[in-house]
């Protein structure tokens, strides 16, 4: 690595890895499963919905819309928990991808996926609790502001209190805005910090503050660049996959025969996909790059039991392909975050994260040498004692 801007340009290439994409795909699959289960529960606890209506509207991934979906507070709470689980699982997968990336940059191309996932799961506190600590601190400051407003309701004394402590309260509000920015940065780069270095909650927060304060413009510009790379990579891969599926649909249907079995299972497979929001610009983008023909037919095509099962398998395959396309964007994003953090640490702290493996190797070598010396010392003492015994006999 050159430890400058040019290293960030390598994010799409480093992210294009079967291991990294597989980890991201698993994260999306498991996270979506948690999210869908809890969101279905949120809809089912609302009297306006049942299983059939949820399925007909959203299929496997229901998405409530704030301002349009009529939920009670406990419905929204269930949905938020599902969303948090989805984010948490994907944060762990991003941490695992960062671990794979840092080991690759150190020269270990064969670092195991299971080891990376285990490492990231071991670092879950740094990944999950770092933003949670910031959220609790922000909430505490907001409560202080609410209390100050409550004190202001006291006649005369409250108004005097508000005037006297206006500046501290104003600076507290500004500090909350700053902490909000830190929270956003921790959500963006925090999982990669935990995945690429052995850091606890405090260390992760310290690195987030340090990167934001010491390398503000580099962090901002490089994050935008990595985000653009992730979006472009996802769109390009989605377009390529879609063209391949269009070719597959034409090729398999060329000699399918007059019965139309291929059209039936293809159409039924598309019916399993969630509906796209009826917004023109979203429909245009999705229709160009999504890995299927997107617009689901209004009704299910009739077929025999084999065609029904085949349509279900095709539909599940569409979900797998969709997760694969999105996983490449996540892989680019995670690899980019690792590169950004590695370069920024070198710039601000003169610390090379890639030398860690050499340090560990040297420590292990020293320990082995000490152990060998301890084993050899008793042998030398035994030889010396034997020599003394021989001298006595003579």
Q: What is the pLDDT of residues 117-127, one digit of tens each?
A: 999 999 888 88
Query: Do 360 and 336 fall within a single domain?
Result: no
Whether residues 369 and 315 share a domain: the answer is: no
Co-location of 223 and 299 in the same domain: yes
pLDDT at 363 over 70: no
- Give yes or no: residues 197 and 330 share one domain: yes
Residue 393 lies in a domain: no
Query: Do 309 and 375 fall within a single domain?
Result: no
What is the total count of domains within the chain? Answer: 2
**Is there a single domain that holds both residue 367 and residue 232?**
no
Tell me the per-residue pLDDT of 306-347, one tens digit each, with 9 for 90 and over.
888 998 999 899 999 989 999 999 999 999 999 999 999 998
Question: Is residue 24 located within the same domain as residue 132?
Answer: yes
33 band by pLDDT with thresholds 50, 70 and 90: very high
Which tokens belong to 230?
A: 């992730």
Residue 263 lies in a domain: yes
Q: Are residues 142 and 176 in the same domain?
A: yes
In a domain, residue 12? The reply is yes
Q: What pLDDT was estimated at residue 268? A: 85
Residue 343 lies in a domain: yes
Range 200-203, long-range pairs (CB < 8 A, 24+ positions): 200/125, 200/126, 201/125, 201/126, 201/129, 201/130, 201/133, 203/126
Q: Is residue 95 part of a domain?
A: yes
Q: What is the pLDDT of residues 45-83, one digit of tens each?
A: 888 888 888 888 888 888 888 777 888 889 999 999 999
Quick check: 175 and 167 in contact, CB under 8 A?
no
- Residue 219 inside a domain? The answer is yes
Kindly state whether residues 193 and 304 are assigned to the same domain.
Answer: yes
- pLDDT for position 148: 85
- Under the banding of pLDDT at 50, 70 and 90, the label for residue 382 is low
Please indicate, yes or no, whether residues 367 and 343 belong to a single structural domain of this protein.
Answer: no
Query: Is residue 394 one of the residues assigned to a domain?
Result: no
Asked whether residue 392 is assigned to any structural domain, the reply reads no
One domain for residues 366 and 332: no
Domain, as residue range, for 12 = 5-351
pTM of this prediction exceeds 0.85: no
189 with 303, same domain?
yes
Mean pLDDT of 1-8: 86
pLDDT > 60? residue 245: yes
Q: What is the pLDDT of residue 361?
A: 44
């Amino acid at each position: 690595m050159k430890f400058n801007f040019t290293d960030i340009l390598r994010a799409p290439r480093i992210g294009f890895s079967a291991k990294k994409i597989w980890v991201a795909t698993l994260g999306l699959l498991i996270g979506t499963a948690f999210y869908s289960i809890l969101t279905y529960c949120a809809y089912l606890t609302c009297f306006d919905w049942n299983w059939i209506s949820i399925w007909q509207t959203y299929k496997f991934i229901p998405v409530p819309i704030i301002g349009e979906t009529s939920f009670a507070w406990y419905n929204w709470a269930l949905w938020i928990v599902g969303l948090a689980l989805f984010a948490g699982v994907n944060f762990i997968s991003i941490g695992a991808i960062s671990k794979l990336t840092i080991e690759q940059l150190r020269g270990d191309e064969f670092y195991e996926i299971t080891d990376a996932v285990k490492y990231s799961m071991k670092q879950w506190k740094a990944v999950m609790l770092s933003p949670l600590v910031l959220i609790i601190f922000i909430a505490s400051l907001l409560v202080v502001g609410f209390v100050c407003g409550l004190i202001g309701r006291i006649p005369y004394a409250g108004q005097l209190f508000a005037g006297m402590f206006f500046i501290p309260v104003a600076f507290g509000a500004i500090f909350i805005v700053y902490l909000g920015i830190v929270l956003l940065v921790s959500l963006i780069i925090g999982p990669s910090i935990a995945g690429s270095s052995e850091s606890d909650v405090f260390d992760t927060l310290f690195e987030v503050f340090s990167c934001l304060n010491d390398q503000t413009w580099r962090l901002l510009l490089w994050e935008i660049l990595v985000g653009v790379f992730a979006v472009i990579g996802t769109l390009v891969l989605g377009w390529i996959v879609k063209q391949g599926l269009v070719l597959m649909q034409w090729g398999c249907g060329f000699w399918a025969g007059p019965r139309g079995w291929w059209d039936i299972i293809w159409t039924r497979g598309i019916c399993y996909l969630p509906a796209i929001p009826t917004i023109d610009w979203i429909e245009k983008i999705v229709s160009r790059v999504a890995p299927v023909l997107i617009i689901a037919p209004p009704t299910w095509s009739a077929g025999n039991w084999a065609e029904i099962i085949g349509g279900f398998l095709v539909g599940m395959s569409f979900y797998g392909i969709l997760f694969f396309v999105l996983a490449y964007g996540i892989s680019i994003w995670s690899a980019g975050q690792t590169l950004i953090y590695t370069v920024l640490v070198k710039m601000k702290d003169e610390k090379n994260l890639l030398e860690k493996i050499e340090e560990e190797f040297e420590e292990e070598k020293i320990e082995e040498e000490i152990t060998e010396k301890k084993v050899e010392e008793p042998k030398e003492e035994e030889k010396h004692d034997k020599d003394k015994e021989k001298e006595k006999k003579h």
